[in-house]
Amino acid sequence: MAVAHAPAAGTDAIIETRGLRKAFGSLVAVDDLDLRVPRGEVFGLLGSNGSGKTTTIRMLCGLLEPTAGTARVAGLDVVREPEAVRRRIGYMSQKFGLYDDLTVLENLRFYAGLYGLRGAALEARVAEQLAELGLGERAGQLTGTLSGGWKQRIALACATSHRPALLFLDEPTAGVDPASRQRFWEHIAALAAAGTSVLVTTHYMDEAARCQRLVLLARGRLIADGTPAAILAQFGEPTLEAVFIRLQREAGAA
Amino acid sequence: MSLRTWLAGSPFWPMLRKEFIQMRRDRLTLALMVGVPAIQLLLFGFAIQTEVRHLPTIVLDEARTSESRALVAALENTDDFRITGYVASRDELRRRIVRGDAQAAVVIPPDFATDLARNRSAAAQVIVDAADPMASSSAMQGAAQAGIARAQAILRARGAPPLPLEVSVRPWFNPTLRSATYIVPGIIGVLLSMTMVIITSIAVVRERERGTLEQLIVTPITRASLMLGKIVPFIIVGYVQITVVLVLGKLVFDVPLRGSLPFLYAVSLPFIVASLGIGLILSTFVATQSQAMQLGFLFLLPNILLSGFMFPRQAMPALAQWLGAALPLTYFLELLRGILLKDAGAADLWRPTVALVAFAVALVTAATLKFHKSLD
């Protein structure tokens, strides 16, 4: 199983970084990171707070400029062609990025419009998304009045209105109830099955187990990577949680 | 791709639409944007009265003659003095001025009438509490004028020829020297600097605080579309504010609207845009809405003090004049007063107009360059 997903060298990586580094003053948030994410997978980026997950995602989306190294997303250099990269990716952060003072419909229309949809094409896409969300008559409700679970799914819809090839999810399920998390992951699985590549950061180990491939970060460095099964076999631990805690401790002692 | 399809597909339109929806929904802010001009106009218009009339005045009349009473009456007729009482001695006079009961005093010596009768020059004295120069300046002028008027009346009564020289002063554009006439056009400028700078910086910082700016940056929206979408709705707010102040200024303070209103509205555009540019630049320095507010007010202070809004720039030291010349408000005030009070047109006011357009272009360019589409 692990072998089937082993990356073939060449062009079918949706994300590829070489020596990626980000320093904020004297603090090195990401250090010499080589990352290769194959197209069409759900790829998990694991690590505790401050391990460099969010900084990595932000560099890949063009939100932060790398201090050193290169990053190619969907075959494009993120520093040289940021706008072209942005048309091909979707991004959802734990803050959701929705306007609380707009209705659900207005938020969906706004983001679809930013991605260049107009007129009938925009209305058709928004109608399709509303049907998927199953919001019904609540489409006209102010977004700020909805629960975290709803906001999360609306944010996902906004981030994917242009059907991006690659979707970045930065701790998408932080502060959301278990039933909503379950539903959210079903949605992600459906997107991946339809061919969307997904890069997700999380510190929930049950969510990590849903990824086809994982990278563990500690203090800005890559400390392990592989499929969940391969990582368990490599470290001889029964659960990802145990691997994570052990690696965390070793990285802290180093 | 033709220009038309490029324009229609620009992310500017959804951005603009979103800003209008949010503005419409934020009723309190909307009410403040219209209410604040009205309140400011009334506060400034009524509070800033630099000309002090009817100064409380006491009289020490040691002559007690009809001539001395005629001089006191002449002083009172200038409306600069209001006689509140009579005192019997120099000591009492001094005490009452020190206590603040009176701010001016008329002293007429015992031989005032006899000097007059003997064709000698009769002397009288007006003492003014000049600790507050603004409060006392018009009284000092009034006293000198009343003295000349009285002297002329006496000469006429004696059948003497008129004075060999007379200089008459004609105060153009504001003949009654009301400060409201001068202040109200200025309020338009100060108000716009305040609201335009503060609301734009807050509008941008709010997006940053809520995480929506981060979301916007990862979309293909360009910096220019983002900036324009933010500022266009506020340009409309600016015009509403100008109109509120003009209408209330006319109705409440009877401020003249002599010049061309279309010209006034036209030259307001570069000023509004320049102020919005400053707001956008400020927003890149601050992290929270309250910081934006504080920085906005910090910026407002030199505008009020150095632009010529309250204090004449000619009286300032060179450094202050240079600083004032670096503020868009200085030029906008020149335009506002020129158009509203003097009916000046584009031919008279091309210099400040060019200056404002230059400020608008430079500031918006600087804001767009300063605002990187990244979180660094």
Q: What is the pLDDT of residues B213-257, one digit of tens each?
A: 999 999 988 888 888 898 899 999 999 999 999 999 999 888 889
Mean pLDDT of chain B, nearest integer: 88
> How many CB atoms within 10 Å of residue A16?
18
| Chain A residue with the nearest C-alpha to that of B22 | A101
Q: Which residues of A touch B25 (CB under 8 A)?
A: 101
Torsion of CA B149, B154, B156, B162, to 10 degrees: -60
- In angstroms, the CA B103 to CA B127 distance is 8
- pLDDT at B4 (0 to 100): 74
The DSSP code for A142 is B
Name the residue facing B215 among A82, A89, A97 (closest C-beta).
A97
Specify the pairing of strand A197-202 against strand A27-38.
Answer: unpaired
pLDDT of residue B312 exceeding 90, the answer is: no
pLDDT category at B371 given cuts 50, 70, 90 is confident
- pLDDT at A158 (0 to 100): 94
- pLDDT at A3 (0 to 100): 39
Name the residue facing A101 among B25, B211, B215 (closest C-beta).
B25
Over its length of 254 residues, how does chain A's per-residue pLDDT go in tens digits? 333 444 444 457 899 999 999 999 899 999 999 999 999 999 999 988 888 999 999 999 988 999 999 999 999 999 999 889 999 999 999 888 999 999 999 999 999 999 999 989 999 999 999 998 887 788 899 999 998 889 999 999 999 999 999 999 998 888 788 888 888 999 999 999 999 999 999 888 888 889 999 999 888 899 888 999 998 888 888 888 888 888 777 766 55
Element (H, E) at B76: helix B66-77
| Chain B residue with the nearest C-alpha to that of A160 | B219
Name the residue facing A61 among B21, B218, B376 (closest C-beta).
B218
Residue B11 near chain A (CB below 8 Å): yes
pLDDT of residue B297 exceeding 60, the answer is: yes
Over the stretch B164-213, which tens digit does the pLDDT of each residue have? 888 888 888 887 777 778 888 898 999 889 889 988 898 889 998 888 99
Q: Which residues contact A210 (CB under 8 A, 6 or more apart)?
A: A42, A44, A185, A188, A189
Under a CB-based contact definition with an 8 Å cutoff, are residues A149 and A180 in contact?
yes
Q: What share of chain B is helix, strand, coil (3-state, %, to 5)?
A: 65, 5, 25
Residue B23 has, within 13 A of its CA and on its CB side, a CA count of 23
Shortest CA gap B190–chain A (Å): 30
What's the whole-model pTM score? 0.81
- In angstroms, the CA A18 to CA B137 distance is 77
Q: What angle do CA B232, B205, B364 make, to 5 degrees?
A: 40
Q: Which residues of B touch A64 (CB under 8 A)?
A: 374-376
Over the stretch B125-172, which tens digit does the pLDDT of each residue have? 999 988 878 778 888 888 888 888 888 888 888 888 877 888 888 888
| Chain A residue with the nearest C-alpha to that of B7 | A116
Over the stretch B5-20, which tens digit does the pLDDT of each residue have? 777 778 899 999 999 9
